Chains A and B, each alone.
Chain A
Amino acid sequence: MRRVVSLFLPHWSTDRLRRKRTTSPPDRRDGVDANGTSFPLVTAIADHGRRIVAAVDAGASTLGISPGMTITKARSLAPDLEVVEADINADLQGLRQLSFWAGRRYAPIVAADPPDGLWLDITGCAHLFGSERALLKDLHRRVADFGLAVQIAVADTAGCAHAVARHVPAGRPVTIEPGDHRKAIALLPVSALRLDADVVTGLRKLGFDRVEQLIGTPRGPLAKRFGRNLHRRLDQALGTVPEPIEPIFPETLPRARRGFMEPIITADAFVQVIGDLTGDVVAQLGRAGKGARRLDCFFHRVDGHAQAIRVGTAAPSRDSRHLAKLLGARIETIDPGLGIESMTLVVPLVEPMGAEGGEFDAMLRSGRHEPDLAGLVDALSNRFGQRRLYRITPTSSVMPERSVAAYSPLDRRSGVAWDDDLPRPCRMLDPPEPIDVTAMMPDHPPAMFVWRRKRFRVTQADGPERLHGEWWRDRGQEADLPFAVRDYYQVETLTGGRYWVFRVGDGENQSTGPMRWFIHGAFA
């Protein structure tokens, strides 16, 4: 299932200008006054001998200034208006830079959507972030951190995502669930279909306000009057005609391409070509003294659609067999349609790697009987996502749930472990679950407890081990939080089961906790 993200930057030109200024701070005369509040900002272009507004920022927009208005009129609305000449080339160049950045970080197929947007085809990429939602949140946060106003939508079709990003105001990414794009687009105004302004006005005159009215109307007469573009846009949004996204990437990246006289379809053929392509890029990498950390293989279909698979390696690699194998493991995600007419392999992320080929190659050559962990980790993390693969290392926290941290499986081994003398459960309940306890006051272990509607009679117990909240955490608030002071007991039940239970609070002072009991795990 294809998933396309449309990223809309409503104030791209002006945000870009502001951003440029803040990255070169000294000149603060224009735009920003001494208090740091900014004047409304617009860009201007020449139009038939007049100057008109090309782009507005949020401030100007709230004052009623809109693109297309003459500068004279805009100034009458906002006397302190700042006007800068529009630089369309720089805007476009900036958008390309932004798409390179997004391409490195989120998905192989990314393209600028001028004048003020980006396309990202995130099909098959979401799992690397945990979920589609997590990917979008990350994208939203980072773009906003650049100082750009941003609206994001994701849908099955580019047209739908584009329309929703621009017409559904929301402070967070909008997700149109798979299959819902028809429903979503139907409710939007006709202007959402990326039509020329005069077509939109024409449709309005005829009484067409929303897309659903268009869907239900015979096509012939409308096409005659407004041209074929109207229904092409509609069909693109509905997903009945394809709308390819042509990925762009910086010219400087190592890459290899193969075009085919006859389109290819079979997995075997893909594997063959992938082998050739990796051979080519590995040679380029070798000359540059670099190793690949990420590879994007693009499959260009005869109908113009581009699909891609992206794989990453945990350590820089120039092992063409290894890289080809990683790519080969994912070709099942490619839908060849009527055939693939060309394939491109791009290496968007490289890292320096000695001419000898690095540790990994050296290990292979020396023939030591070491497991090929790098190979395994790459294979697993490309399938399950890098965050789902980790080793555990101790942290300095005394609270059990915070005493473990995950780190990358191929990082240097830490060599440290936890204290040997503290009993810890091997199955941990996170968060701890409340239990009903019969215990003698004030600080005896439970004699009986009820957990998940089952009664457990305690025969023996060990404890308490008192853990104090880490008062320096949560801005010094943790000491006041629930679960801050705990008395832990190991208890053994009548059948021999061993559990870790704790009482919140020290049992004497009410302020340390409400004396409630929880179960936190089970021992062997």
Chain B
Amino acid sequence: MRVPNVLADLRARIAVIEGVSVRHGVLPFGIDEVDRHLPGGGIASGALHEVAGSPDLADDASATIFLTGMLARLDGPVIWCLTWRDLFAPALHLVGLHPDRVIHVEAGSDTQVLLAMEESLRHAGIAGVVGEVGKYSTTASKRLQLAAESSGVTAFVFRRASKVEQGAEGTAAVTRWRVRAAPSLPLGIPSLGRPRWQVDLERVRGGEPRTWLMEGCDAQGRIALPAALVDRPAAQEAHHIAA
């Protein structure tokens, strides 16, 4: 029973050495296999995180909902800074982010979005600040990270239409995620099952990159891992026969 404590202690110490700020607390995904992999056991609050889809609109949509799920499970108002207006609020509500919580800022350009983000990050008590940008620089990421750290507000840079092969350039973000749509399980009836994503943790300060296959958010913004490698009904059947 002591082993997890020791591990947690060690992780915390490593985090301090590596300068990972976990002093604002973390937001766990609630999936041990993922949380175990993140320093502090979840998404660090008061830090900068990057989320990307791909030039494919459906992948950007998946990344949007992945991000919305995290925001839905945080407490307080959300500032969402946009360059263009294609975000559709009813879908955010479907994964638990109530429209009353979100203030949209149509900032106009990448630079203006970053400016609006930095201003918003100075206001403690805001749950999260999202900025949708095409390109941004390492310097900008450092500024955002600093602002987030000093107020405790969590910052998310959403890199729109980000190409998969690029993206290795430096960033001050604590984590960088890439979310792409993956084929869902056929239900056997003409209907869609729960969406699935391939989620790449491309970068994490104080940790190793990793890839998971995930199931999309439920109505409370919680993601899940696919049930098992074995086909569950079949496994149950086998169990049944054995009994």
Q: Tell me the A residues contacting B by CB distance below 8 Å.
A: 369-373, 375-377, 379-380, 383-384, 388-394, 400, 403-404, 406, 409, 413-415, 417-418, 420, 422-430, 445, 459-462, 490, 492-499, 521-524
Contact = CB atoms under 8 A, between A and B. Distances in A.
A370 B127 CA distance: 11
A425 to B, nearest CB: 6
Given A380-B119, A390-B103, A427-B86, 10 more contacts: A371-B76, A394-B90, A404-B89, A424-B90, A425-B88, A430-B86, A459-B186, A460-B190, A460-B192, A524-B197
A521 B104 contact: no
A418 B89 CA distance: 9
Contacts of A461: 190, 192
Nearest to A387: B106
B101 to A, nearest CB: 9
Contact of A523 (B180, B183, B195): B195
Given A460-B192, A492-B183, A496-B183, A426 B99 contact: no
B105 A371 contact: no
A524 B53 CA distance: 10
Contacts of A392: 89, 99, 102, 104
Interface string B36-58: 00000000000000000000111
Q: Count chain B CB atoms within 10 A of each CB in A376, A400, A493, A494 and give the residue with the most.
A: A376
A460 B106 CA distance: 35
Given A426-B65, A462-B190, A522 B184 contact: no
B99 A394 contact: yes
Nearest to B125: A371
B2 interface: no
Interface stretch (B27-35, B107-115, B166-174, B228-236): B107-115
B181 interface: yes
8 contacts: A371-B76, A371-B126, A380-B119, A406-B104, A417-B99, A522-B61, A524-B65, A524-B95
Contacts of A376: 79, 119-120, 123, 126
Interface in B125-164: 125-126
Contacts of A403: 90
A384 B108 contact: yes
A180 B184 CA distance: 59
Contacts of A413: 100
A492 B192 contact: yes
A493 B59 CA distance: 12
Contacts of B89: 392, 404
Contacts of B190: 445, 460-462
B94 A424 contact: yes
Contacts of A523: 58, 61, 91, 195
A496 B88 contact: no
B88 A428 contact: yes
A380 B102 contact: no
Contacts of B178: none
A427 B61 contact: yes
Contact of B91 (A369, A415, A424, A445): A424
Given A404-B90, A426-B64, A524-B65, A497 B104 contact: no
Nearest to A410: B103
Interface residues of B, number: 61
Interface in B66-92: 66, 68, 76-77, 79, 85-92
B98 interface: yes
Nearest to B192: A462
Contacts of B103: 373, 377, 389-391, 409
The CB with the most chain A CB atoms within 10 A, among B86, B90, B108, is that of: B90
Nearest to A460: B192
Contacts of B181: 495-498, 524
A54 to B, nearest CB: 49
Nearest to B89: A392
A494 B90 contact: no
B123 A418 contact: no
B205 interface: no
A375 B124 CA distance: 12
Contacts of A406: 104
A427 B99 CA distance: 15
B196 interface: yes
Nearest to A373: B77
Contacts of B192: 460-462, 490, 492, 498
Contacts of B100: 391, 393, 413-415, 417
Contacts of B93: 417-418, 420
Given A388-B105, A414-B100, A370 B182 contact: no
B112 A426 contact: no
A359 B98 CA distance: 24
* Residue among A372, A377, A425 facing the most chain B CB atoms (10 A cut-off): A425
B57 A372 contact: no
Given A403-B90, A426-B68, A496-B184, A384 B112 contact: yes
Ranked nearest first, the 8 interchain pairs of A and B with the lowest CB-CB distance are A497-B58, A371-B125, A524-B65, A426-B91, A496-B181, A522-B61, A428-B88, A392-B89
Nearest to A456: B58
A389 B116 CA distance: 11
B219 interface: yes
A523 B216 CA distance: 11
Nearest to A390: B104
A57 to B, nearest CB: 44
B205 to A, nearest CB: 27
